[in-house]
Amino acid sequence: MNAVYLAQDPTLADFGRDPWWLVLIKVVFAFAVAVVATLLGVWFERRVVGRMAVRPGPNQAGPFGLLQTLADGLKMAFKEDILPKASDKIVFFFAPTISVICAVTALSVVPFGPMVSIFGHWTPLQVTDVPVAVLVLLACSSMGVYGIVLGGWASGSTYPLLGGLRSTAQMISYEVAMGLSIVAVFMTAGTMSTSGIVAAQGDGTRLSIAGLEVPAPGWYALLLLPSFIIFFISTVGETNRAPFDLPEAESELVAGYMTEYSSLRFALYMLSEYVAMVTMSAVTTTLFLGGWRAPAPITTFWAGANSGWWPMLWFFAKVIMLVFVFVWLRGTLPRLRYDQFMRLGWKVLLPINLAWILVLAGLRSIEDWDSRGKLIAVGIPAGILLLGTLLWPSRKRQPTPTVQEQVNNRPYGSFPLPPMDLQVPPSPRTRRVVAEREPANIAAGPDSREV
């Protein structure tokens, strides 16, 4: 009986029954995960990027350099705390804490595992869960931008203000794409509860194609692949990570919204960035990678892989894998330009997401039809789309103008051009006079003698 209960998925009825000390343990555990993830995340990123750049990375303080991040944190805490004269003192002080609180709060609705026994009490490995838990995650990620915007505005300086404004546009742009990606998860799982979404991915889905039952994967990362790709791209933009680190842009804006910050306030912004990265990796794992459930190869030969405390191992393994992808992107891709970044969010991700949701809604609406009706409903639009793609007139490629044509088409008053043949002609204002001089023949005087 206990083994069955341990393997049971938590439901909304299982929350709200814990004693106060158990709730306190869960809250402290979630906060500890956030802090430890920051310490290990900085070390992990420096080691991985160092390996990619063929250099060692931190390896002196502690085994494998694990204490280097702790030493940097202590050094940062004892640095001088500078308060700009033109800043808004109160907002300047509280802005970093807003980002940290929003990033840590999102972990409260992330399920770390199934029902377990903690000091004799049966409880889910999750702080809390509500029927609209995913909306809580979206609200926390949306509120995190206030810490960045207020920090840039309260600094009383130009570069932080530009970084804060960039962050506002960035968050708004990619929050829309992220929300639309989760709509596909709602439609498939039939719930907004995070524990319910994990439970919905527990069993493999069976698709009916032409009257045949075809087994499909249970993970929404494979079943809803377009939503998964768009969601992960949006999370990279939401967390201000490269190549979408436009709010910081140290090569353009010195350091962005955190230029005027120092000491512990700067450390809080750094903490919020890495906590947000780990939090969004945990959210991606929950929504698309089966949450705390073990992958299919493990469950085939181990029936108890999803029971007890083992699911925490699978959960954190998936989170670390996604964090590695974050670091991989930073060490591989260059930063996008601001116009490229906005074009990707509004002109690429958003239309694709809307079209995918429309297709998914159509497929969900014909699930109860007979095989012939499904074939007609899917085959006719697919055939029209295929014919339209094949018969669509191709755009004629414009001939590339020659260099002389480009020079002739320049508007009047343009800047002067250098010579196209790379030969600099002589200046018309310079007159070169070549004078041929005769050798001077001076007769020797009577006092001259050879020396």
CB 311 within 8 A of CB 292: yes
Distance between CA atoms of residues 376 and 354, nearest Å: 23
* DSSP string across 22-75: HHHHHHHHHHHHHHHHHHHHHHHHHHHHHHHTTS--S-SSSGGGTTHHHHHHHH
Residues 6+ apart with CB under 8 A from 323: 41, 44, 277, 278, 281
Average pLDDT over residues 84-107: 86
Q: Locate tokens 């499904």: which residue?
A: 374
Distance between CA atoms of residues 364 and 186, nearest Å: 12
Please tell me the predicted confidence (pLDDT) of residue 276: 87
Distance between CA atoms of residues 261 and 248, nearest Å: 13
Average pLDDT of the chain, as a whole number:
81
- Alpha helix ranges (H) inside 132-262: 133-154, 158-189, 194-200, 220-223, 225-238, 250-253
CB 184 within 8 A of CB 357: yes
379-416 per-position pLDDT tens digit: 777 778 778 777 777 777 778 888 778 888 888 878 77
Average pLDDT over residues 72-99: 84
- Partnered with residue 208 across adjacent β-strands are 213
User: In this structure, what DSSP letter does residue 78 have?
Assistant: T
As given in the structure block, the two tokens for residue 166 are 């960039």
Residues 6+ apart with CB under 8 A from 131: 12, 191, 192, 193
Average pLDDT over residues 244-256: 67
Q: Please report which confidence band the pLDDT of residue 162 belongs to, taking 50, 70 and 90 as the band edges.
A: confident
Q: Which of 70, 62, 81, 78 is nearest to 38 (CA)?
A: 70
Please tell me the predicted confidence (pLDDT) of residue 435: 47
User: In this structure, what DSSP letter does residue 244 have?
Assistant: S
* pLDDT surpasses 90 at 85: no
Q: Please report which confidence band the pLDDT of residue 259 belongs to, taking 50, 70 and 90 as the band edges.
A: confident
Which amino acid appears at position 69 of this protein? T
Q: Which of 372, 401, 294, 381 is nearest to 7 (CA)?
A: 294
324-373 per-position pLDDT tens digit: 999 999 888 888 877 888 888 888 899 999 988 888 888 877 766 766 66
- pTM, two decimal places: 0.79
* pLDDT surpasses 50 at 156: yes
CB 65 within 8 A of CB 48: no
Distance between CA atoms of residues 437 and 354, nearest Å: 86
129-148 per-position pLDDT tens digit: 989 998 888 888 888 888 88
226-239 per-position pLDDT tens digit: 999 999 999 988 88
Q: Please report which confidence band the pLDDT of residue 249 belongs to, taking 50, 70 and 90 as the band edges.
A: low
CB 230 within 8 A of CB 181: yes
Please tell me the predicted confidence (pLDDT) of residue 288: 93
- Partnered with residue 216 across adjacent β-strands are 205
Please tell me the predicted confidence (pLDDT) of residue 88: 85
Q: Please report which confidence band the pLDDT of residue 319 belongs to, taking 50, 70 and 90 as the band edges.
A: very high
Distance between CA atoms of residues 148 and 146, nearest Å: 5
Please tell me the predicted confidence (pLDDT) of residue 7: 52
Q: Please report which confidence band the pLDDT of residue 204 belongs to, taking 50, 70 and 90 as the band edges.
A: low
Q: Is 443 exposed, middle or buried (0-12, 13-18, 19+ CB in 10 A)?
A: exposed
Q: Which residue has the higher pLDDT, 5 or 162?
A: 162
As given in the structure block, the two tokens for residue 48 are 């991985």
Q: Which residue has the higher pLDDT, 428 or 386?
A: 386
Please tell me the predicted confidence (pLDDT) of residue 117: 86
What is residue 414's three-state secondary structure? coil
Q: Which residue has the higher pLDDT, 419 or 84?
A: 84
Q: Is 31 exposed, middle or buried (0-12, 13-18, 19+ CB in 10 A)?
A: middle
What is the number of other CB atoms lying within 10 angstroms of the CB of residue 211? 10
Average pLDDT over residues 261-289: 87
- Alpha helix ranges (H) inside 289-337: 296-301, 310-332
User: In this structure, what DSSP letter does residue 348 have?
Assistant: I
Alpha-carbon distances, residue 218 vs 112, 167, 188 (angstroms): 19, 36, 11
Q: Which residue has the higher pLDDT, 304 or 321?
A: 321
